[in-house]
Amino acid sequence: MKKMGLLIIAGCAAVGILFAFYPLQHTNQAIYVAVDGDDKNEGTMEHPFRTIAKASSEAEAGTTVFIREGTYKEQLIVEHSGTKHKPITFQAYEEEEVVIDGENLNAAEGDSALVVLEDKDYINIEGLTIQNLTTDLMDETVMGIFINGSSSHITVKDNKIKGIKTWHDEGNGHGIAAYGMDSMEDITIVHNVVEDLKLGTSESIVLNGDIDGFMVERNTVRYSDNIGIDLIGYEGVANHASADYVRNGTVQNNKVHHISTLSNPAYDGEYSAAAIYVDGGKDILIQKNELYQNDIGIEATSEHAGKYAEDIQITNNHISNNYYTGIAIGGYDEHRGGTRYTLISQNYLEQNDTKGLDGGQLLLQYNVHDNEIEENKFAASDSRIFIANFFQENRDNRLAENIYYRERDKEGIWIWKDEEYTSFSAFIKASGGDDTSQYIYPDEAQ
C-alpha cells in the first residue's frame, strides 16, 4: 500500500517482550462527555462536554475521558500525549454503549480515520464501537483507528470496529492500522472485535513500517474481504529504510474466520487472503490462534525480492477448513522474497484446501530455506494433499516428528520439489525427513 499521511476530514522486542497496561489508578483527572452535554460546561460528571473533540483538547497527561452512552458523529483525534505513569485514556463509561459513527463524514481524497493518533505516546482507547466510515473514491483510504508517525506505548482494547468500507474497485481500507513512519514501539491491540469490512488491497488489522515491539492478542477478526492480521515490512513506510519492518512481537489467542478475497473486486475471484500474514516481518511469535474458513490460515513470506520473513515461530495453532491451504511459506513466484529461519511446530492442521486448489495443509512456495517443520499433526481434506511444494528452490528445510493421519479408503499425497508421492516412505526419503514422523490412523495416535 502507499505511504500514508493523514487527512483530517470535516463532518457533523524479541518475542517475549514485556507489554504493560497503564491502569487507571495512575490518573489524576477525569473528563466526561455526553450527548446531552455542552462544550461550554466544565466537563464534569454533572456538567459534561458535548463533543469528544472538546474533551481531547482538554485531556492532558493523567486524564481519563469517560464517554457516556450514545452515538457521536465525529472523529476522535488525540491532541496530547500521556506519560508512562500518567497515560491518557479514552473509554466508554462503565461499559455503556458508545458509538463513534462516520456515516455523515464527507469523503475526500487522502487518508481518513475515525480515531487518529499521530506522534502520540501513552494513549489507551478502550470500549468504543467505531463504525460506518465508507468511501467510493480510489484515492481515499478509510480506517477505523489510525496510529502513525512515532506513536508509542499505545493500547487499543475492548473495541468493536465494523463497517469500514471502500466501494471502489481499487480502493483501500483498514479496521485498525499502525504505520511506523518514525520509530514506534509497544503497540498493544487486545480483545477487539473487527468485522464486516471491505478493504480493497488492504487489511483488517495491520502493523507496517518501523514498529519494534507489539502484541496482538485475543482479538476476533471476521467477515472481511482481505487479510485478517498483517505484519509488514519493506513497503517504504518508514523514513529510515534499514528499520522499515515490523519486529519483536506476539500474535496469540486470536480467532480469525471468514476472511476471503473471493468477492473482492481487486482480486478477480482469487482465494488469497490469509487470516494471519507476515509480509517481511522478523522475530515474531504466532501461537495459540484459532483460524478457520479463511482463504489461508497463516502465511509467512515477503512480497519484495531479496527480502524475507525470518525468525518466525508458528506454534500451537489450530488451523482448519481454510479454502486454499493451512500454512503457506515462501513467495508465490521467483520475483518475490521468501521465508527462512522459521519454526512451524505443534500445530494442528486439518481439512484445509477445501476448494481443491492443491494447497494442501502446508504449502511451500518459492525461496524457502533453513526452516524447521516439526511435531505438527496433519489431517488432509478431500484433496488428500498433506504437503504441497511445486518449486525446486527448497533447501535445508528440516521435517521431523510430524504425524500424518491416514484414511481407511485412500492414500495421502505429498508433493515435494514438484514430484508427487503417495508412498509415505518415498516422501520421507525425498524430503530428508526423519524416521520419527508417522503416517497412522487417528485411532492409533497416543
* The pLDDT of residue 104: 86
Percent of the chain with pLDDT over 70: 93
* The pLDDT of residue 446: 67
pLDDT at 16 over 60: no
> How many Cβ atoms sit within 10 Å of the Cβ of residue 129?
19
| 3-state SS assignment for residue 250 | strand
Sorted by sequence, the CB contacts under 8 Å of residue 162 that are 6+ apart come out as 129, 130, 131, 132, 193, 194, 195, 196, 197
* The pLDDT of residue 396: 93
User: Cα dist. 187→91, 92, 217, 356 in Å?
Assistant: 17, 21, 11, 38
**Mean pLDDT computed over every residue of the chain:** 93
- Contact status, residue 226 vs residue 203, Cβ threshold 8 Å: yes
pLDDT in tens, 290-343: 999 999 999 999 999 999 999 999 999 999 999 999 999 999 888 999 999 999
Nearest to 392 by CA among 422, 359, 430: 430
Name the pTM for this structure.
0.93
* Cell numbers representing residue 349 in the block: 492442521
Where does the pLDDT of residue 107 fall: very low under 50, low under 70, confident under 90, or very high at 90 and above? low
Where does the pLDDT of residue 7 fall: very low under 50, low under 70, confident under 90, or very high at 90 and above? very low
For the chain, the residue count is 446
pLDDT in tens, 146-182: 999 999 999 999 999 999 999 999 999 999 999 999 9
* The pLDDT of residue 106: 76
Q: In the chain, which residues fall in CATH 2.160.20? A: 1-272
* The pLDDT of residue 433: 87
* The pLDDT of residue 19: 45
* Cell numbers representing residue 3 in the block: 505511504
pLDDT in tens, 355-387: 999 999 999 999 999 999 999 999 999 999 999
In CATH, what class is 1-272?
mainly beta
User: Which class for 335: exposed (0-12), middle (13-18), buried (19 or more C-beta within 10 A)?
Assistant: exposed
* The pLDDT of residue 22: 43
